[in-house]
């Protein structure tokens, strides 16, 4: 009994020792199992929580996303509307700009019309100027022709004596000619100049001579008392050197006191017949004195 008890105690101690050896391992294993189980529990709990949270979040996300989506739809609609409006506004502005530019800035058709009008006006002006030039040219030609005609007529008037008569053919109407010369016809047409015979001087000269202004010579211009008026005595002489009175104012001395009671001389001689006709003959030779 004791031995078996001891054997049993040894077996129990063996078993205890073995159990002691395995205690750690078994303890760890038990812990592991338990922890795994606890883990499973917790995981199940957590997963439940997760699901709930997901579910809440799902609903929440859905709400916000739909709100966002509604917002986006609104903005997209707004943008399309604005694009449409913009396009329409552009169309209107195009038309308006085209109209405005064509009317106020550069009217192509007005310019075209202007240039056409200008060509027409130019044509008119050119035609008018040509006409005026023609007229003036014709006028000048006419004047020169008239002058030539006049000259020829004057010439014919002067040569009127060359007109041919029945008896004697003139030099412009020579027999071998079929018809008389142009000058001959002119001679027949014009009236002859009435030329007064005689070597007359041209009328202009005669007029000039008749109305010639007086050009008196120095002798005539100087007054008769010029010497007395202008004569200035010399500085260094004493004599007056004027005109001596004897010889110009009187020819002999007069003693008035001697002549007081006396009568003047009487001319005694009678005139000669020689001097009867003096100043009454044709010639004016005697008038010079």
Partner 1 sequence: MSQRQVLQVFEQYQKARTQFVQTVADLAARPQNTETLQNSGVMSLLRPLLLDAVPTIQQTAALALGRLANYNDDLAEAVVKGDILPQLVYSLAEQNTQRFYKKAAAFVLRAVAKHSPELAQAVVDCGALDALVISLEEFDPGVKEAAAWAIGYIARHNAQLSQAVVDAGVVPLLVLCIQEPEIALKRVAASALSDIAKHSPELAQTVVDTGAIAHLAQMILNPDAKLKRQVFSALSQIAKHSVDVAEMVVEAEIFPAALVCLKDPDEYVQKNVATLIREISKHTPELSQIIVNVGGVAAVIDYLGDSRGNVRLPGIMMLGYVATHSENLAMAVIVSKGVPQLAICLEEEQEDHIKAATAWAFGQIGRHTPEHAKAVAVANVFPKLLNLYLDTESSEDLQVKAKKALKSILQKCTYLPALEPLLYEAPSNILKHIICQFSKVLPHDSKARRLFVTSGGLKKVQEIKAEPGSAIQEYINAINSCYPEEIVRYYSPGYSETLLERIDNYQPV
Which residues, 6+ apart, have CB-to-CB distance to 187 below 8 Å? 156, 159, 160, 162, 163, 170, 172
Judged by DSSP in three states, 250 sits in: strand
Chain positions 145 to 174 lying near partner 1, rule: CB under 8 A, are: none
Closer residue to partner 1 (CB): 217 or 239 = 217
Indicate the DSSP class of residue 273: G
Indicate the DSSP class of residue 33: H
Which residues, 6+ apart, have CB-to-CB distance to 137 below 8 Å? none
Site mask, partner 1, residues 220-239, x = CB under 8 A?
--x----x------------
Q: Is 140 in the site for partner 1 (CB under 8 A)?
A: yes
The closest alpha carbon to 246, from 234, 254, 238, belongs to 254
Q: Is 101 in the site for partner 1 (CB under 8 A)?
A: no
Q: Tell me the site size for partner 1, rule CB under 8 A.
A: 23
CA–CA dist 43, 50 (Å, integer): 10
Among the candidate windows 152-160, 219-227, 230-238, 259-267, which touches partner 1 by CB under 8 A?
219-227
Which residues, 6+ apart, have CB-to-CB distance to 111 below 8 Å? none
Chain positions 109 to 128 lying near partner 1, rule: CB under 8 A, are: 111, 114-115, 118-119, 121-126
How many residues are given for the chain?
A: 289
Q: What is the closest distance, in whole angstroms, from the C-beta atom of residue 215 to partner 1 in the complex?
A: 8
Q: Which of 64, 178, 217, 270 binds partner 1 (CB under 8 A)?
A: 217
Q: Which of 196, 219, 277, 280 binds partner 1 (CB under 8 A)?
A: 219
Q: Is 129 in the site for partner 1 (CB under 8 A)?
A: yes
Closer residue to partner 1 (CB): 59 or 288 = 288
Tell me how crowded residue 65 is: count the other CB atoms within 10 A of its CB.
11
Binding stretches for partner 1 (CB under 8 A): 111, 114-115, 118-119, 121-126, 129-130, 132-133, 136-137, 140, 217-219, 222, 227
């Amino acid at each position: 009994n004791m031995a078996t008890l001891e054997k049993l105690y040894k077996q129990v101690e063996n078993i205890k020792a073995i159990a002691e050896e395995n205690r750690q391992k078994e303890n760890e294993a038990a812990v592991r199992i338990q922890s795994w189980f606890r883990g499973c529990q917790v995981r199940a709990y957590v997963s439940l929580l997760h699901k709930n949270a997901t579910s809440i979040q799902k609903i929440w996300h859905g709400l916000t996303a739909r709100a966002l989506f509604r917002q986006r739809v609104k903005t997209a609609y707004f943008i399309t509307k604005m694009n449409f409006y913009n396009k329409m506004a552009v169309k209107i502005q195009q038309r308006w700009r085209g109209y405005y530019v064509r009317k106020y800035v550069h009217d192509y058709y007005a310019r075209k019309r202007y240039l056409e009008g200008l060509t027409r006006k130019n044509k008119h002006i050119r035609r008018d100027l040509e006409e005026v030039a023609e007229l003036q040219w014709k006028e000048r030609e006419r004047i020169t022709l008239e002058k030539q005609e006049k000259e020829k007529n004057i010439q014919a008037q002067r040569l009127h004596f060359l007109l041919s008569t029945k008896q004697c053919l003139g030099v412009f109407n020579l027999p071998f000619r079929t018809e008389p010369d142009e000058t001959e016809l002119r001679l027949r047409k014009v009236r002859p100049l009435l030329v007064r015979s005689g070597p007359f001087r041209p009328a202009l000269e005669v007029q000039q001579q008749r109305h010639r202004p007086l050009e008196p010579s120095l002798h005539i211009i100087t007054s008769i008392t010029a010497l007395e008026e202008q004569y200035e005595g010399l500085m260094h002489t004493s004599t007056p050197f004027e005109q001596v009175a004897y010889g110009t104012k009187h020819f002999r001395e007069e003693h008035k006191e001697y002549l007081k009671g006396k009568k003047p001389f009487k001319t005694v001689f009678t005139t000669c017949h020689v001097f009867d006709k003096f100043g009454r003959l044709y010639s004016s030779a005697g008038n010079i004195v």
